[in-house]
């Protein structure tokens, strides 16, 4: 509760009548003070580890407030302030998760990793499709490192990555399907095609999700190809039923269809 009050106080401090740069410096100083004090207590006073976690958590919770102050008082460019805040937040959360060996902080750090990818797309002025593509790329990168070079990852990150990676790309596919008004056919085909490639790669990895990934890859790549053909020619190949995605090729029936 005290940490929440401190975060609220920092947010209210931004709205005071003090000079802008003083307000920005004050928020940055308080954030760094709490974050650093937590690390010092955790290292030097083992009996105060709960207090160290509370101090570090308060500093981490102040990172978004610091980003808001950065945008209001120092850098009046939204995408740039977002990117800088995301990079700092990612570094701070990863360092705290490793030092404190906290899985909660590991999961929270993934939100800043995704935010960094999104802010990079925003800097480049990319369309919505590239936000989806960036999230898939992050999932592929982290999963690839976890599978191929697990020693590159801190041990505290191994288990959360194994829990999250089967969920991220399917969530992207569902999200892309739920926003048809914001993606044209080519963009939708690109996103679903990337999901299909990811599922195909994961189907080559032994594990309990191997068969599911195989069927998901066939379904996603089939849909992506059909939508891309529709985009290029104005007519597409549609399976006679959803079950055709997973049925053997000799049993699959196809028909040519025209919209409308």
- Tens-place pLDDT, residues 61-74: 889 888 888 888 88
For 70-74, 119-123, 233-237, which range has the lowest pLDDT when averaged over its residues?
233-237
Domain span at 227 = 127-232
Which candidate, 241, 237, 219, 215, places its Cα nearest to that of 227?
Answer: 237
- 250 inside domain: no
Q: Judge whether 191 and 133 are in contact, CB under 8 Å.
A: yes
- 239 inside domain: no
**Which of 65, 92, 125 is the endpoint of a domain?**
125
Answer with the residue of higher pLDDT: 28 or 18. Answer: 28
Number of domains in the chain: 2
Count H helices and E strands in the chain, helices first.
10, 2
Pair (80, 143) in one structural domain? no
Calculated CA dihedral for residues 67, 70, 75, 81, nearest 10 degrees: -10
Pair (46, 87) in one structural domain? yes
Pair (88, 44) in one structural domain? yes
Backbone angles phi, psi at 241, to 5 degrees: -155, 160
Pair (101, 191) in one structural domain? no
- CA separation (Å) from 142 to 111, 153, 241? 13, 9, 35
Q: Which residues contact 17 (CB under 8 A, 6 or more apart)?
A: none
Look up tokens 């690839």; give the residue: 144
Average pLDDT score over residue span 153-161: 79
**CA 132 – CA 147 distance, rounded (Å):** 22
Over its C-alpha atoms, the chain yields an Rg (Å, rounded) of 23
Q: Of all residues in the chain, what percent carry a pLDDT higher than 90?
A: 4
pTM of this prediction exceeds 0.75: no
**CA 154 – CA 124 distance, rounded (Å):** 31
Calculated CA dihedral for residues 51, 55, 56, 59, nearest 10 degrees: 170
Which SS3 state, helix, strand or coil, does residue 187 take?
helix
């Amino acid at each position: 509760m005290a940490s929440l009050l401190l975060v609220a106080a920092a947010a209210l401090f931004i709205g005071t009548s003090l000079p802008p740069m003083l307000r920005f410096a004050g928020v940055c100083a308080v954030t760094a003070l709490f974050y650093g004090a937590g690390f010092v207590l955790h290292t030097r006073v083992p009996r105060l580890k709960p207090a160290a976690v509370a101090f570090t958590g308060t500093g981490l919770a102040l990172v978004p407030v610091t980003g808001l102050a950065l945008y209001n008082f120092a850098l009046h460019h939204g995408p740039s302030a977002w990117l800088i805040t995301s990079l700092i937040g990612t570094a701070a959360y990863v360092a705290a998760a490793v030092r404190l060996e906290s899985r909660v902080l590991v999961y929270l750090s993934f939100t800043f990793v995704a935010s960094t990818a999104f802010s990079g797309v925003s800097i480049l002025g990319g369309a919505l499709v590239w936000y989806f593509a960036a999230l898939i790329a992050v999932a592929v990168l982290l999963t690839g490192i976890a599978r191929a070079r697990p020693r590159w990852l801190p041990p505290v990150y191994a288990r959360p990555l194994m829990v999250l990676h089967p969920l991220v790309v399917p969530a992207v596919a569902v999200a892309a399907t739920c926003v048809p008004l914001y993606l044209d056919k080519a963009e939708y085909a690109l996103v679903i095609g990337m999901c299909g490639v990811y599922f195909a790669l994961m189907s080559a990895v032994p594990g309990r999700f191997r068969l599911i990934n195989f069927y998901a890859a066939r379904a996603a790549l089939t849909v992506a190809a059909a939508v891309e053909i529709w985009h290029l020619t104005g007519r597409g190949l549609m399976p006679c039923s959803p079950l055709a995605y997973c049925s053997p090729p000799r049993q699959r029936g196809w028909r040519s269809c025209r919209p409308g």
